[in-house]
Amino acid sequence: MTGMYRVWPDPGATPLTEDALLAWYRPADRDQPRLRVNFVTSADGAVSVAGYSAGLSSDADKRVFGLLRMVCDAVMVGAGTLRHEGYGAMRLDEPRRAWRRSAGLPECPPLVVVSGRLELDPDSDMFTGAPTRPIVVTHGGSPADRRAALARVADVLVCGDAEVDLPAALTALADRGLTQVLCEGGPHLLGSLTAADAVDELCLTVSPLLAGPGSSRITAGPPGPGRDLRLAHVLTGDGNLLLRYVRR
């Protein structure tokens, strides 16, 4: 297992145990709705290598990635990223399922797919093999036939008239008891969430790699106002910096 260490606050020379690592990421209040975003980037700001985020990941990043999925109520992803990164059914390993059972949570969080055009295959493993029924978030202008087809394998939430109303979607998820939402991208979804002032927390792994020109940033979309965040902690492992920022 990758050794991970606390850099800030209170630097520590002893590797973090699983319980100690969990303490840095476990939600403080599950009744309070919260949107956490998780991304990895290269040292020069790239969101991918050869078109995929996996080229930036490491054992330390994967360890936190798995932990964030373990403690959340739902995993949100944009349809484009889901297709490009090859998402399958949302399954956790047995130790993480056991932790969720002990915490009174369903064994696996549902996958929440945000899509305006609904270019999704209802017969894919992402839907048919999911241990927890997925959720598709769309808007009233999406194709009605695709909504009907997806409703066979997922709960379809219509939020907004001509485009997805993300704050309304988060409220709808919270009404279902899914208050701790983890967003795994992609860049356009992050851009839209930022524009809606919906991001409460950013977990960002900085990989010790210069990816060079060509890749986009972790966020995309029309320019908008910035959002101030506060640094909550810095961890390190495999030469990566694992940063956690929270809303001021």
Mean residue pLDDT across the chain: 96
Domains of the chain: 33-44+53-214+227-247 (3.40.430.10)
- pLDDT 10s digits, 212-235: 998 899 999 999 888 999 999 999
User: What pLDDT shows up at residue 237?
Assistant: 97
The single-letter code of the amino acid at 138 is T
Q: What is the pLDDT of residue 1?
A: 67
**What pLDDT score does 215 carry?**
85
**With 90 as the cut, is the pLDDT of residue 88 above it?**
yes
Sequence-distant (≥ 6) Cβ neighbours of residue 5 within 8 angstroms: 11, 12, 13, 14, 15, 16, 235, 236, 237
Proportion of the chain above pLDDT 90, given as a percent: 94
In percent, how much of the chain has pLDDT > 70? Answer: 100
As a whole number, mean pLDDT of residues 188-217 equals 96
Q: Which residues, in sequence order, are CB contacts of 93 under 8 Å at separation 6+?
A: 66
Alpha-carbon span 174 to 155, nearest angstrom: 14
pLDDT value for 190: 97
For residues 139 and 236, give the distance between their C-alpha atoms in angstroms, rounded to a whole number.
40
Reported as a single tens digit per residue, the pLDDT across 166-195 is 999 999 999 999 999 999 999 999 999 999
Q: Read off the pLDDT band of 50 (50, 70, 90).
A: confident
The DSSP annotation for the chain comes to: ----EEEESS--SSPPPHHHHHHHHS-S-TTS-EEEEEEEEETT--S-BTTBGGGG--HHHHHHHHHHHHH-SEEEEEHHHHHHHT-------HHHHHHHHHTT--SSPPEEEE-SS----TTSHHHHT-SS--EEEE-TTS-HHHHHHHTTTSEEEE-SSSS--HHHHHHHHHHTT--EEEE---HHHHHHHHHTT---EEEEEEES----TT---S--SS------EEEEEEEEETTEEEEEEEE-
Please give the pLDDT value at position 133: 98
Determine the average pLDDT of the residues in 240-244.
Answer: 98
Q: Supply the pLDDT for residue 2.
A: 74
Question: Any idea how long the chain is?
Answer: 248
Q: Which pTM was predicted?
A: 0.97
User: pLDDT tens, 148-162?
Assistant: 999 999 999 999 999
Tokens for 171, please give them.
């409220």
Average pLDDT over residues 64-78: 98
- Gap between the Cα atoms of 231 and 62, Å rounded: 21
Q: What are phi and psi of 214, to 5 degrees?
A: 115, -35
Residue 173 CA to residue 74 CA, distance in Å, equals: 9
The structure tokens 């394998």 sit at: 153
